[in-house]
Each structure stands twice: as C-alpha cells, then as structure tokens.
Copies of this chain bind each other. A is one copy, B any other.
C-alpha cells in the first residue's frame, strides 16, 4: 500500500527510459489535501545533489503538493545545469497537476556526476501524471529501486488514521543518512510543525542508526506529507510513535537488503556515560571492516570489537569493557571471558552487546557483514 495507504494521496510509478535496462525509474506522489503540510530531513553530506538543494528550499514553506522521484541518475555534482534540470522537472509536475513548482519536491538516485536525460524525464512526468491512482503506491515503490533487490513499503494504521511509506536504498548506507529516498504519507490532520518534530525524532533513532557501509550519500531525503483527509488529529505522542514505527520498519528493510550482505548485525551499546558515547562506539564498531569480515566468516572475533571501541573518545576504562556475541560474554573486564566456541553464528542475525561499564545510556546501531559480493557489486558496476 505504501504511500497510498493514507487517504488523500495518489501515486504512480513508470518506466521513463532513464535506466538503460528499461526498468521502472520514475515515481510521482501527490497530496490531494485538504491539507498539504510537509516536513523533510536531508543528507548531512556537504556535497549535496541538485534535487536535495531544491527540495530543502521548497520545504521551507512547510507545504508540498507532490513529490517526483527518479532512479537511474543521482543528478549530483552536475553543476548549474543539474540544478536547472531539477527545477524544470518540478515545473513540469506543477504544470501537469495545476500547482506551483515551489510545492513540488524532487528526489533522484543513481550514478553521481551524470546529467539526466531530460527529454525522457519530462515525458515521463506526463505519463506518470496520467496514471496517478489511489492504488499506485506499490508501483511508485518499485520505480525508485536502484540496486535494491526488493521494494520496501510499510504501513501503520491507528484509530481512524494511517501512516505509510516507501523507501529505497541498498548501498552507500550510512548515518546522517543513507543513499536512501523515503516518502511517508499520512492522512492525520496535523500541521507541518508536528510533522517536522515527529520526523526528526523518528529518523534520529532509526535511519540515522543504520550504517551499512559507512559511506554517506549526496542524495538522502526523507519526506513526510500530511493530507488531513482522515479528519483525525492524533495526540503528539501517538503520532510520533506511528511515524517512528514506520521508519524503524523501513530501516530494517534497508539493512536486510544491503548490497552483498549475508549477516545483519545488531550492535547494542550499553553502560555508556551518554547516549552520544553509545552512538559513537556503535558506529565505530559498525564501520570496522575487519570485524565485518570476521562476522561474515562466523568468527566471534571480539578483539576487533575492542580495538574499534579503543579508537573512540567515549568514556570507558579498557579493563572494564565487556562484550557479548549472540548471548555469550566472550570478553569480560577487557580480557578473555566465556569460551568463544560457545558462540553460535549460523543465523543471519548477529547480536553484539558492548558494555562500556561507564553509565546507563544505550544505543543500537545496525550494520551488515562485509562480503566478496559487496566488493563485486561495487567494483563491477558504476553506481
């Protein structure tokens, strides 16, 4: 159901010919109101793609009528011409829908440093606008895939109102955010301030804590649009919970589909003096290539966890660190703990607990193992 699960939205996904293989590559999501409230969060990479620069600007009004998304090209590092192309795409959508270009967000994903084939993009917008449907959410989710093997959607329905969404992303997944495009919609009757607050709170503990390969994208975008079509205004906490639930589900789907991965690794940092310490330690472990290789080989190599913790500025004493892998405390007080042979690593999910013994704060970061398939996928094809 994706972005059309909530009332007041239509969507479409089509093959515009941007991708050479003819797969679907252009999606359109339209908010029919009565509200057009919106919020967004964007990559913290300082090299931002043209569509990110554009969408950040249009979001300042707190309103969006539509989002147009393309795969097959990131339109990043494309100079003034790239920005003109994004603008022209928004104008084309505005013309087709009868709204202003300043109410249209644009998202792109694909190879950096290549201009989009604008004749195909603009013709594709017309085709998509003609196919908009209340059942178009699934097709839209399919059209934004790049190296994703599956499309990702999620829906939470509450008492008379719904939050739904779609996501794409498989590589270049890292905090603050991933190569990841996410569009969430809701028919709750809430203003853009509420959307913004709920979205930032949700991404901080979901997408921002997914770190597949440590590589931050130029194009990451998460948008949340509210139509108000349900006529229900939920309580702030209920609404924030629903948004977080959808973000968490989509984030998990991203990790499970990460390029070449054979293991999903949940890194739970406990006993931290601050939440920031817990996040820093979790990220450092998540980015340690040697550990990621060891997990791929089903080797509970806790020494690599300790060496990763040791590179951080978090509060801890080396001789008080404890590490459990899949429930076995293989490291106690910074030294050898239970027998590493007791660790069962046959299953896809691997759970690492790193106890800093320095306080009571925690954070959970998700990552994947590093595999020959990841290397192959990212060396054999430009992406």
* Residues on the B chain within 8 Å of A45, using CB: 307, 310-311
CB-nearest residue of chain B relative to A46?
B310
Q: Say whether A266 faces chain B, with CB atoms less than 8 Å apart.
A: no
Q: Are A382 and B299 in contact (CB under 8 A)?
A: yes
Q: Say whether A172 faces chain B, with CB atoms less than 8 Å apart.
A: yes
CB-nearest residue of chain B relative to A379?
B297
Q: Are A378 and B307 in contact (CB under 8 A)?
A: no
Number of interface residues of A (CB under 8 A): 69
| Mask: chain A, 93-113; 1 = CB below 8 Å from B; 0 = not | 000000000000000000111
| Mask: chain A, 205-232; 1 = CB below 8 Å from B; 0 = not | 0000000011111100000000000000
Q: Are B307 and A217 in contact (CB under 8 A)?
A: yes
Q: Are B382 and A78 in contact (CB under 8 A)?
A: no
Give the copy number.
Answer: 2
Q: Please provide the chain A residues from 318 to 337 with a CB less than 8 Å away from any CB of chain B in the complex.
A: 318-319, 321, 330-331, 333-336
| Mask: chain A, 42-61; 1 = CB below 8 Å from B; 0 = not | 00111110000000000000
CB-nearest residue of chain B relative to A171?
B290
Contact of A307 among B81, B215, B293 (CB under 8 A): B215
* Residues on the B chain within 8 Å of A115, using CB: 336
Q: Are A311 and B112 in contact (CB under 8 A)?
A: no
Which positions in A face B, CB cutoff 8 Å?
44-48, 74, 76-79, 81-82, 111-115, 171-172, 213-218, 287-290, 293-297, 299, 301-304, 306-312, 316, 318-319, 321, 330-331, 333-336, 369-372, 374-382
